[in-house]
Structure 1
Amino acid sequence: MPDSLSDEETQSSLNVITHGASLFFIGRILAKGFRFVLNLILTRGLGASLYGIYAYATTLTSLAVVLARLGAGKSLLRFLPAYADDSPYRNYLVGLAYLTALLGSVLIGAALYLAAPAISGATLNNPLLVDVLRILSLALPFSTLIKLTNEIFRGLKKLEYQVLLADILHPLTQIGVVMIALLLGYSLLGVVASLALGSILVCLVAVTLLYARTSLRPHVSGGQRNEGAKEFFSYSIPLTLKDVGSVMYSRVDILMVGFFLAESTVGIYQVAFLLSGLLALPLNAFNQLFPPVASQLYTNGEIRELQSVYETVTRWTLTLAIPLALVAAVYSSELLLIFGPEFSGGAVVLTLFAVGQITNCAVGPSGYFLMMTDHQQLTMINQWLLGGLNIVLNYILITELGVIGAALATASVLSFINIIRVIEVWYTEGLTPYSKAYWKPTTAGILTAVFMSGLHQLFDGYVLLIIGAPVGGLLFFCIVFVLGLEKDDREFFNRIISE
C-alpha cells in the first residue's frame, strides 16, 4: 500500500510539472519562433555590425535587470507555494518584491545611463553604443517589472498567463514595433527606441492582468513587516549574487568578445548563442513548475517522491534535448546561413554551444533542486566561482583562438557547473537523478548522429536542413520506442490517454 500510494503521488506531481511543461513548451516554441523572426529581421535589416552593437547593449542591460530584481522573483517561487494558506503574508511578500524591483531598477538604470560613455570607450568604442545603452536604461524599470510579474504567475502555477505575457504578447509586440521602425526608414536607434516603447506597453498589460486574474493585492504594510522582510531578503540576496554569477559564466563571453573583437563578430556570436538556446527548451519547460512542486514536497518531508520526480524529469529532459542538439551540431552551418552568408562563419561556435547545452540538460533541474531545498548560499558560491573561472578561461582562449576560444571557454564552464550541481545534490540531500534507463536515449542519440552525418553525402544547404532535421528526430524517437519505455513513462502516458 505505501508503495502504491507513493507511485500515485509521484504521478500526481509529474502531472503538475508536465502540465506546466506542456504549456511552457507550447508557449516557448511560439516565443522562440517569434524571437527567431525578430532576430532574422534585425540581422537582415541592420547587418552584422549594427546587430552586434544591439546584441552587446542588450546583454549589458540583461545583467542590469538581474541586479535590479535582487532575487525577488526566485524568492517568490520559494515562498508563494509555501504560504499558500496565508493570503495577507503572500500579499506582503509580493508588494515587497515589487518595491525592491522598482527601486533597484531606477537606481541601476540611472547608473547605466551615466556610465554609458565609459562602457563604450572600454569596449566597442562606438558612439552608437552610448545612445543605445541610454535608451535601454530608461526602459529598464519596465523590463524589470515584466520579468517579476512573470515569476509571480509562475509561483502561483498560473503558467497560462506567463506564457501569454512572456512568450506571445512581448515578442509579438517587439516584432511589430521593430517592423514599423524599419519600414519608416529608421536604423539602430529607432529600432531600440521602439523596443523600449514596447516594454512600457507590455508592463502595463502585465500588472493589469495580475490584478484582474489573481487575488493578490500587493502591499508593504502590516504587522509582519520585519519578519517578512528578513525572511525575504535572507533568501533573495544570496540568489541575487548567484544570478550575477550566472550571468558571469553564461554571458561574460559576449562582453569579452566585444572587448577584444569587432562588433560584427559580436553579432555572429550572438546569433549562434540564440540558436543554442533552443536546446534548453526541454529543461526550461520542466523547470517552470518543478521549483514550486519541489518546494512543497521538501517542506512536507516527502523525500521519496521528490527523488522519483527528480529522476524522471531529468531523464525526460535529456531525451527531448538530444535530437535538438544533434541538429545544432551536425547542421550548424546550414542553420546559421538562414541569417545571412556572413553569419555562417559561426558554425564551430554553435557546435561548441550545443555540447555545453546537452550537458546542461543532462543534469535536469539540479540547480533549482538546490534552491528549493534551502541551499541558496551554495548556488551563489557555485555561480561566482565558475563565473570567475569563465572570465579567466575567456581571456586566455579569446586571445589565443578568437571567437572560437570564447565558445570553448563558456561551453566548458557550463558543463563543469552542471557536474558540480549533481554532486552537491547527492552530498547535501543524498539524491541522484540517474538510473540505468539513461542508456536508451544515449544509444538512440549515437545511432541518429551517424545517420544525420551520412546525409551530408546526399544533400547540402537548406535541402539538407529541411530533410535531415525532421527525419533525424523521427529516427531518434523510433529507436527510443524500440528499446522500450520505462515503467514511469508507461504509467504517465496511460494516465494521459485515459483522461
Structure 2
Amino acid sequence: MSQPESRRAPAAVQSPGLDRNILAAAKGGGIVFVGKVFTYGSRFLIAFLLARLLGAEGYGSYNLALSAATIAGGLALVGLDAALLRYIALWRSRSDDAGVWGALQVGLVVTTVLSVLIGTALFALSYWIAATVFHDIRLAPYLQLSAVIVPLLTLSNILAGATRGFKNFHHFVIAQYFVQPLVRVILIVSFVLIGLGIEQAILIYGIADLSASLLLLYFLNKEFSLRRPLKSGRREVRALLSFSVPIWLSDSMLTFRNSIQIVLLGSLATVTTVGIFAVASQLNLVADLVQSSVTTAVKPIIVEVHDQGKRMDLASLYQTVSKWMFAFNLPIFLIVVLFPTQILSLFGKSFTLGAEALTILAWASLVDAATGMCGAVLDYSGYAKLKLFNSVLRLALSISLNLWLIPIWGMVGAAVAVLVSELVVNLLRVGQVYYLLRILPYNLSSLIPVLAGIVALVMTLIIGQVLALDYIVEMIVQCLALLVVYTALLWKFGLADQDQIILSHIGRRARKRVGRFVPGLT
C-alpha cells in the first residue's frame, strides 16, 4: 500500500466484520501464545542449564557470540521477512498468486546471498573483533562459530515471515515455537551427558534453527505449492524493497539496540556482567508472551482492515488487544518486582546480583505493554518510514544512555537505558497513531486491570506480613494469592463485549473438543 493510499479517509462506521476480526486476533494470538509458552519454558530450562553448566562468564561468552550472529542475521534479512508477511497477506487476499510467487523468490534469493556474504565477513574479522572490541582473544573461536550459523538464522526468519503472511499460524508456531526449542533442549540434555561447552551450545542453536527452517519450507509448500515455473512469478522488487528497506533499517535498529547492549556490556564492563544481565533479560521475556503473540497474529488483520478503510474496526481492535496485553503483563510485573532476588537465585548465587536490573527491566516491559500495539498499527498501516524514525531515535537514546550509564552503574545502567528508551519511544508512537488515525489504545475498560492489580498487590503484601514461613514457600503462597485475586476481579468486572465474544468462542471450541470423548457434552 502506498503512502497516499494509507492516508485516504477511513470509514467511520463499525462494520459487521469486527467480531470476526477480534476472534481472528484472539485465535491467532492464542495459537502463538501456546507456542510461546512452550518456547519460553524451553528457553527458561535452556538458560537454567547453560547458566549452571557454563557459569556467569561462560554464559556471557555464549550470549556475546549469539549477539554477533543476531546482528549479522538482521543485516542479511534486509527487512524482507516483514515485506513478505505484508505483501503475501495483501496479494493472497486478492488471489494474486503471481505476486505471491514472485515475492517468495525475491525474499529467499536475496537473503540467502546476503547471509553467506555477511557470515563470511564475520568469520574473517572474528579475531580482530575479539581483541579490539571485547579485549579478550578467547572469544574469537566462538565468534567464528556464530558466523557459520548466520545463514541458518536468516533462512529461518525469512521462511517464518512468508508463512505468517498466509495467516495459518499453526505452521509457524509448530516450527519456530515447538520444534526449534525442543531440538535445542534435546541436544543440550544429550550433550550434558558427554560434556557441554560453549562451542557445542552455539552449534546446537544453529542446528535447531535449521530444523525449524526445513519444517517451515514443508509447510510453506503445503500452503502454496512451490513446484511451479519460476517465470510465472511477478517479481515486484521495487515495491518489496521500498517497504522492506525502511523496515529493515528500523528492525535492525531494534536488533542492534538489544545486541549492542550486550556488546557494550562486554566491552565496558565484564563478560560475567553480560552473563548475569542476559539471565535477567531472559526472565523478563515472560512479560512479552501475550504482547508478541497477539501482535504477531494481528498484523495481517491490520493490513486488511486498514486497506478497506474501516477505522472503527481498527480502533476497536487496537483498544481490545492493548487491554489484553496490559492485563496479562501487570501480574507478571508485580511478581517480578516483589521477588527479584528469589527468582534469580534459581540460576545460582552469583546471578542474584542482577535483582535490581531485573526490576528495572520489568518496568520497561510494563511501559511497553501499557502503550499497546501502537508500533504494529503504524508499521502495517503503511507508515514504514515513520517506524524508521522511531527506531533511529530509540537506538540513539539506547546507545547514548548505555555509553553514559554502563561505566557508572554496570548492568543497572543498561537496564535504565532500556527503560528510558522504551518510555520515550512508546509514548511518541501512541501520539503518532492518534495524530494520523485518530485512535487511542485506551477506553474506560482499560482502568479495570489497573484497579484489580492495586487490590491484588495490597492483599499480597498483607499476606506477606501475616505469614511466617520459609521464604520460598512464602513467595509461592503470595504469588498464588496475587494471581487468584487479580484473576477473580478481572473475571467479575473486566469483561467487555469483545472479551465475552472471545470467551464464548473458546468455550464452544473446548466443549466441542471434549465432546469427542464425552458424548452429550456438546
TM-score range, shorter chain: over 0.9
Residues 1:133 and 2:147 are matched in the alignment: no
Match for residue 473 of structure 1? 483
What does the per-residue CA deviation read over 1:207-251, in whole Å, with 9 as the maximum and x for residues that have no partner? 2332244435587645733xx000000000011100111124334
Deviation, 1:467, is: 2.2
**Structure 2: which amino acid aligns with 1:143?**
L
- Please point out which of 107, 110, 113 is paired with 1:100: 110
Report the counterpart of residue 341 of structure 2 in structure 1: 333
Alignment correspondent of 2:269: 261
CA distance in 1, matches of 2:321, 2:492: 21
Instruction: Indicate the SS of the match to 1:124.
Output: coil
Is the CA contact (8 Å cut-off) linking 1:329 and 1:351 kept in structure 2? yes
AA matched with 2:240: F
Q: How does 1:433-444 map to 2 (within 5 A)?
A: 433-444=441-452
User: Which amino acid is the alignment partner of residue 156 of structure 1?
Assistant: F
Match of 1:382 in 2: 390
Q: Cα offset for 1:453?
A: 3.7
Contact conserved, 1:333 with 1:347, CA < 8 A, in 2? yes
Using the size of structure 1 for normalisation, the TM-score is 0.94
The 8 Å contact of residues 101 and 232 in structure 2, kept in 1 or not, is answered as no
For the pair 1:83 / 2:71, whether they are aligned, the reply is no
- In the alignment, what sits opposite 1:271? 279
Whether contact under 8 Å (2:46, 2:185) holds in the other structure is: yes
- State whether residues 42 and 181 of structure 2, in contact with CA within 8 Å, keep that contact through their aligned partners in structure 1: yes
Quick one: structure 1 residues 302 and 46, their matched pair in 2 at CA, closer, same or farther if it must change by over 3 Å? same
Q: 2: CA distance between counterparts of 1:348 and 1:450?
A: 22
Corresponding letter in the other structure for 1:105: S
Does the alignment pair 1:44 with 2:91? Answer: no
**Separation of aligned partners in 2, 1:213 and 1:487:** 34
> 1:172 and 2:182 equivalent?
yes
The alpha-carbon deviation at position 462 of structure 1 amounts to 2.7
Aligned to 1:318: 326
Contact in 2 for aligned 1:52/1:265 (Cα 8 Å): yes
Residue 98 of structure 2 aligns with an amino acid whose one-letter code is P
Q: Aligned partners of 2:470 and 2:354: how far apart in 1?
A: 17
For residue 196 of structure 1, report the CA deviation from its aligned partner: 2.9
Distance 2:379 2:246 in 1: 10
SS at 1:485 equivalent: coil
1:455 to partner: Cα distance: 4.5
- The answer on whether the counterparts of 1:314 and 1:433 sit within 8 Å (CA) in structure 2 is yes
In the alignment, what sits opposite 1:57? 65
1:430 matched residue in structure 2: 438
Aligned length: 494
Instruction: Mark the CA change 1:456 to 1:142 in structure 2 (over 3 Å): closer, same or farther.
Output: same
Q: Which amino acid aligns with 1:367?
A: G
The RMSD of aligned alpha carbons is 2.0
TM-score (norm 2): 0.90
Q: Secondary structure at the match of 1:224?
A: coil
Q: How far, CA to CA, are the matches of 1:30 and 1:286 in structure 2?
A: 16
Q: Does the Cα contact within 8 Å between 1:181 and 1:194 map onto a contact in 2?
A: no
Q: Is 1:202 aligned to 2:212, yes or no?
A: yes
Q: Does 1:308 align with 2:309?
A: no
1:161 to 163, 171, 176: 171
Counterpart of 2:307, as a letter, is T
Q: Residue 520 of structure 2 corresponds to which residue in structure 1? A: none
Aligned equivalent of 2:373: 365
Cα offsets for 1:62-112 (capped at 9, x unmatched): 121111111011111211111111112101101111112101111111111
Query: CA–CA distance in 2 between the matches of 1:297 and 1:87?
Result: 21
Distance 1:303 1:275 in 2: 37
The 1:303–1:461 alpha-carbon spacing in structure 2 relative to 1, beyond 3 Å, is: same
Pick closer, same or farther for the CA change 1:123–1:446 going to 2, 3 Å.
Answer: farther
- Matched residue, 1:419: 427
Aligned residue in 1 for 2:291: 283
Structure 1 residue 384: Cα displacement: 0.8
CA gap 1:231/1:220 in 2 versus in 1, 3 angstroms: farther
Moved more, 117-126 or 255-264: 117-126
| Separation of aligned partners in 2, 1:126 and 1:203 | 33
Q: How big is each residue's C-alpha offset from its partner over 1:105-131, in whole Å with a ceiling of 9 and x where there is no partner?
A: 111111111121122123333333211
Change (3 A) 1:216 1:11: farther
Check whether the contact 2:175–2:213 (CA below 8 A) recurs between aligned residues: no
Residues 465-487 of structure 1 show CA distances to partners (whole Å, capped at 9, x for unaligned) of 32222321121111223334223
Residue type at the aligned position of 1:197:
I
- The yes-or-no answer on 1:482 pairing with 2:515 is no
Are the structure 2 counterparts of residues 435 and 201 from structure 1 closer, same or farther at C-alpha, using a change threshold of 3 Å? closer
CA shift in 2, pair 1:480/1:304, >3 Å:
same
Q: Is 1:91–1:217's contact at 8 Å kept on the other side of the alignment?
A: no
Task: For 1:120, give the aligned amino acid.
Answer: A
Q: Alignment identity in percent? A: 25
* Regions of 4+ moved over 4 Å: 216-220
Measure, in 1, the Cα distance between the counterparts of 2:351 and 2:436.
Answer: 44
CA distance in 2, matches of 1:275, 1:217: 43
Taking the TM superposition and a 5 Å limit, the aligned residue runs for 1:66-81 are 66-81=74-89
1:462 maps to which of 466, 472, 481:
472
Residues 83 and 90 in structure 1, CA contact (< 8 A), matched pair in contact too:
yes
Q: Partner of 1:144 in structure 2? A: 154
* Aligned mates of 1:218, 1:355 — CA distance in 2: 50
2:213 aligned partner, one-letter code: C
Q: What is the rounded CA distance, in whole Å, between the counterparts of 1:247 and 1:186 in structure 2?
A: 28
CA separation of 1:498 and 1:181: change in aligned 2, threshold 3 A: closer
Structure 1 position 337, deviation (Å): 1.0
The alpha-carbon deviation at position 328 of structure 1 amounts to 1.6
Note the C-alpha offset of 1:496: 4.2
Alignment match of 1:119 (pick from 125, 129, 136)? 129
Shift of 1:191: 2.7
User: SS in structure 1 opposite 2:248?
Assistant: helix
SS of match in other structure, 2:486:
helix
